[in-house]
């Protein structure tokens, strides 16, 4: 089993769910607004409601876009 990245989610299942979003975003070169919307959709599930927490969003952004300004995305 491949270890998933730790995104600051409260559970391994949460980190795995966010990792799936990151993998898809990376593969399809999705924009930051699209990724944010995906995290918001995930957060609608009460098991993953922290998906829109600042720490999670920052971890995802850093992995996908590094130090680029989100306005540029």
Domain with 30, as residue range(s), is 12-65
Q: Is the pLDDT of residue 9 over 80?
A: yes
The reply to whether 58 falls in a domain is: yes
What 8-state DSSP symbol labels residue 29?
T
Mean pLDDT along residues 5-34: 96
Instruction: State the alpha helices, DSSP H only, in the chain.
Output: 12-28, 32-43, 54-65
The reply to whether 72 falls in a domain is: no
Residue 53's pLDDT is: 97
Buried b / exposed e over 43-66, threshold 16 CB at 10 Å, is beeeebebbebeebbebbbeebbe
Higher pLDDT, 72 or 15: 15
| 8 Å CB contact between 67 and 61 | no
The reply to whether 61 falls in a domain is: yes
**Number of structural domains found in the chain:** 1
């Amino acid at each position: 089993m491949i270890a998933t990245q730790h995104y600051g989610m409260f559970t391994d299942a949460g980190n795995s769910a966010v990792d799936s979003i990151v993998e898809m975003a990376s593969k399809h070169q999705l924009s930051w607004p699209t990724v944010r919307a995906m995290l918001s959709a995930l957060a609608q599930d009460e098991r993953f409601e922290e998906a829109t927490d600042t720490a999670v969003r920052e971890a995802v952004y850093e992995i996908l876009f590094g130090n680029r300004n989100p306005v540029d995305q």
